[in-house]
Amino acid sequence: MKLVFLLIALVPLVMVAAKSTPGRMAARYDNFAVYKVDIDTDEKMEELKKIHERVTVHILNELMGPGRSYYLIVGPLFRRALDRFLNFLEIVYEVVVDDLQKLLDDSAVGNDDQMEWENYHSLDTIYDWIDKECAAHDYLECGVIGKSYEGREIKSIKLSKRPGNKAIFLEGNIHAMEWISSATVTFLLNQLINSEDPEMQRLSEEYDWIVVPMVNPDGFVYTHEVERLWRKNRRPNGYSNTTGDCYGIDMNRNFGYHWGGAGWNIDEPCDHWFGGDEPNTEVEILSLQNFVNSFEDGYIRSYLAFHAYGQYVLLPYGHSNTEFPPNYDQMKRIAAAFSDAAADVYGSVFTYGASGLLNYVVSGAAKDWAYGVKNVPFTCTVELRDKGTYGFFLPSNQITEVGTEVTAGLKALVNKAAEEGIYN
């Protein structure tokens, strides 16, 4: 959800990459540092919003207000200037990463010959695994819900072992750089298909599972081949700046439910949070919506969108911090079950509640569309590990741990939702 704000001198680096041809060397971040800054007053917040006037940085979080920590990426030439800026304003900070490229290398694609969950994988490997599983199991119905702007398939999997079940929908990687999202969604799908755990097999018998693990294939491929810090899709959005044409829409700001009402820089076409000139403009989003619309009303009873990072279970609504769904208390009880069970595995604490209240106010998200338009009675965004140490660049050696704790949380969530009558 939170992502990279590209500014000034680093923009040419990224924009050159955006126009690159296949095979061109990807952008690198050798000796770039990641700073954690704590903002405790409105005055400091306003100064941070103007930081690009003095220092060249990437800002990893949407700038929403004081009382929060924010993460900045700075190149080696600008570290002294950033230190002076922060010290002058008496902003408390620490350097949490000394060499961003080393961290990126640690989370890069490893052995890509076959699908497993010790490494991140390319789109081709993920899709090959899906195809093989679909060919091996007659209870899987697999298809293509549409194609991306650049013509890549958006694949879906429906697991159904008996008629009359209600369905749970899992969605991944709407934001390109959040690799742990599709890794976790495919981990969960693998558990439902291949796990010998009796509880997972029961859940695969008693519920239908509809999975779209890769909503943003163009952006995902771009993060592998050109720019690891990319968030949006890859459609030219009709705007330009001094560096050239601007690309992409933040697709989790493009859904029509309360679109455009709130959010950091959602109306800035060359920023990574641009929600589009109108709602529902992106072919990937329209394909996802049409796919959901293809099922009869009342069939999909839970919709879970997986993102990084922060360890949250974010409930509707995102567009307000004073308006809440009619069954908000019920949804909080279900989210609490996920949080408690996930924490029992490795101690990872997931905070739960309305996203507009806990995280920040932003409009046009998938979970709000699923709740507000499709009337799915439990929807959420699960923000996966971690709380900022690695952020979007979680090392691959944590994939299995994330999958394991989320599997535990998912079991508890579904069982609590059933107890609450969500699947009636």
| H-run or E-run covering 145 | strand 140-147
Contact 356, 364 (CB under 8 A): no
3-state secondary structure of 283: helix
The stretch 357-379 carries a mean pLDDT of 94
Please indicate, yes or no, whether residues 76 and 131 belong to a single structural domain of this protein.
no
pLDDT in tens, 113-139: 899 999 999 999 999 999 999 999 999
Catalytic residues: 383
Question: What's the one-letter identity of residue 62?
Answer: E
User: What confidence category does residue 242 fall into, taking pLDDT thresholds of 50, 70 and 90?
Assistant: confident
Positive or negative CA dihedral for 280, 285, 290, 295? negative
Please indicate, yes or no, whether residues 56 and 131 belong to a single structural domain of this protein.
no
Q: How many domains does the chain have?
A: 2
pLDDT in tens, 201-229: 999 999 999 999 999 999 999 999 999 99
Task: State how far the Cα of 35 lies from the Cα of 79, in Å rounded to an integer.
Answer: 10
Please indicate, yes or no, whether residues 190 and 82 belong to a single structural domain of this protein.
no
For 15, the domain range is 10-98
Chain-centroid distance, C-alpha 266: 16
Domain-located, residue 113: no
Please indicate, yes or no, whether residues 67 and 161 belong to a single structural domain of this protein.
no
- Predicted confidence (pLDDT) at residue 318 exceeds the cutoff of 60: yes
The owner of tokens 């691959």 is 396
Please indicate, yes or no, whether residues 178 and 287 belong to a single structural domain of this protein.
yes
Domain-located, residue 134: yes
3-state secondary structure of 71: strand
Structure tokens at 69: 């920590």
Domain of 337, CATH number, reads 3.40.630.10
Provide, rounded to the nearest whole percent, the portion of the chain with pLDDT above 70. Answer: 94
* pLDDT at position 287: 98
pLDDT in tens, 374-393: 999 999 999 999 998 899 99
Domain-located, residue 243: no
Please indicate, yes or no, whether residues 344 and 380 belong to a single structural domain of this protein.
yes
Please indicate, yes or no, whether residues 208 and 153 belong to a single structural domain of this protein.
yes
